[in-house]
Each structure stands twice: as C-alpha cells, then as structure tokens.
Amino acid sequence: MCSETVHLPIVKTAVWPDEAATQRFAAALAASPELRNAFIELRGNLGAGKTTLVRHLLRALGVQGRIKSPTYAVVESYELPDLAVWHFDFYRFSDPQEWEDAGFRDIFASPGLKLAEWPDKATGHLPIADLVVQLALQDDTARQVTLTAQTLTGLLLIQDVDSIVPNPTHGQEAISLENLPTQSASRASA
Ligand SMILES: Nc1ncnc2c1ncn2[C@@H]1O[C@H](COP(=O)(O)OP(=O)(O)OP(=O)(O)O)[C@@H](O)[C@H]1O
Ligand SMILES: [Mg+2]
C-alpha cells in the first residue's frame, strides 16, 4: 500500500475532432462511478457544444426520450434507477431569489449528478465544481477541450475517462500540474 499526493487543480487539454469524439468522451464519463455524486461545469461560447455533450452523456446514462435544453426552464431533471441528474443552464438566471425559491440550494446539497452550463451567471451561489469542461470551437466539428479537476472527485473522473479513452483525439494530449498550496488531494493505492 502506498499513498500518492496530487495538487489541484489538474488541467488536461485535448482536441475532439468531431462530435463522435465528444460522444466517446461522454460515454467514458458515464461509466465512471465518480459521476454518482459530482458537479460538472460546462463552459464555452454559444454553440461550443455544451448541451450536445450533456445529451450524449444523458443518453449514455440511459435517459430515453427527448432531452430538452434547459435554456428557458434553467433546469431539467432526470430520475434514473440509481441516479438523479440535474442539467442547469444559467444563461437566463438573474434573480438571486430564484436560487432559494426554485430549490437550487437543496439540489446542490443532494447526492446525484449536477451539470451546469453558463455557471458564471450563477457565481456566488454555486459550490466549487469537481470538474470544469471548457469547450472552444476550432472549426465546424473540432472542439478544443480543457478539463480542469478541482477536487479529488474531478481528478478521479479524468483518470477514469483516461483509462477508457486514453487517447481520444489526434490532437494535443497534455497533462500539466499546477500547484495550489491550499488544495491537495490524496488517495491510497495498492
Ligand atoms: N465535436 C463536437 N462536439 C459538440 N458539438 C458539436 C461538435 N461538432 C459539431 N457540433 C455541433 O455544434 C452544435 C453545438 O450546439 P450546443 O447547443 O451543444 O451548444 P452550447 O454550447 O450548448 O450552446 P449554448 O451556449 O447556446 O447553450 C450542435 O449543433 C452540434 O451538433
Ligand atoms: Mg447549451
């Protein structure tokens, strides 16, 4: 038994050349047990692919039927046999009172998977995300991706995805460590 200490956040960059690569990432993410209680932020401009990634993820988790973008409702929820999922889009979120009235505080205090597009619009309300997925258009179908693990859960999510799709792209594949003195995570490994 040995223990390893890592310093967070951990940043990984990649290129997804087409939507099939986005789907492969989503399927790998869906297979991670860490998803059972995680908060993932999806960042990027309009049309970057945030909702598309969430749709592939929800499908991979077993959601059937129409998957609506929560742009107008702010949140869509899904009850899977062993997993509750909330998909937020805070683009139109502006009223802090809504945070309490709509029960968002309770949702973030509950176990399950929380996914949030446009988290900047709810700054001050949201807890620290386990994983931040930043998407940027490279061309019509290629997306530059930055994955940032901010907690041990986020780190394990990245590791689990890597173990399934170790080289999901033809592009950059780099892992760099940034040391933040205030945050560290360790886990024992056999
Ligand atoms: N590699 C890719 N990954 C994700 N989406 C892609 C990719 N290539 C093409 N697309 C297309 O880009 C579009 C992304 O739209 P989507 O609604 O997911 O963006 P969004 O980031 O959620 O935007 P918004 O900020 O308006 O909510 C979709 O039409 C999708 O089919
Ligand atoms: Mg969207």
Mean pLDDT of 138-151: 97
pLDDT given at position 178: 44
Delineate the domains of the chain, giving CATH numbers in brackets: 2-189 (3.40.50.300)
pTM of the model: 0.89
Alpha helices in 120-188, H assignment, sequence order: 152-164
Report percent pLDDT > 90 for the chain.
Answer: 79
- How does pLDDT run across 85-133, given as a tens digit for each residue? 999 999 999 888 989 999 999 999 999 999 999 999 999 999 999 999 9
122-131 b/e (C-beta count within 10 Å ≥ 16 → b): beebbeebbb
Q: How far apart are CA 145 and CA 24, in angstroms?
A: 14
Q: Interior CA angle at 176 toward 52 and 184, to 5°?
A: 95
Closest ligand (CA of 44):
1
pLDDT of residue 164: 86
Ligand 1-lining residues (CB < 6 angstroms): 16, 18-19, 22, 44, 46-52, 117, 141, 143
Reference 77, options 95, 48, 100, 54; nearest CA is 54
What 8-state DSSP symbol labels residue 117? E
- Taking the CA of residue 45 as reference, the ligand 1 atom at the shortest distance is 25
Name the residue at shortest CA distance from atom 14 of ligand 1: 49
Of the pLDDT bands very low, low, confident and very high (cuts 50, 70, 90), residue 149 is: very high
The Cα angle at residue 128 between residues 58 and 59, in degrees rounded to 5: 5
Q: How far is the CA of 145 from the centre of ligand 1 (A)?
A: 13
- Tell me, what's the pLDDT at 107? 97
Tokens of 87: 């998909």
- Asked if 145 and 53 count as a contact pair (C-beta separation under 8 A), the reply is no
Q: What pLDDT, on a 0 to 100 scale, did the predictor assign at position 167?
A: 58
> Nearest ligand, CA of residue 76?
2
- pLDDT tens for 52-98 read 999 999 999 999 999 999 999 999 999 999 999 999 999 999 888 98
Q: What is the gyration radius of the CA atoms in the chain, in angstroms? A: 16
Q: From the CA of 5, how far away is ligand 1's center (Å)?
A: 36
Burial letters 156-189, b for 16+ CB under 10 A, else e: bbbebbbeeeeebbebeeeeeeeeeeeeebeeee
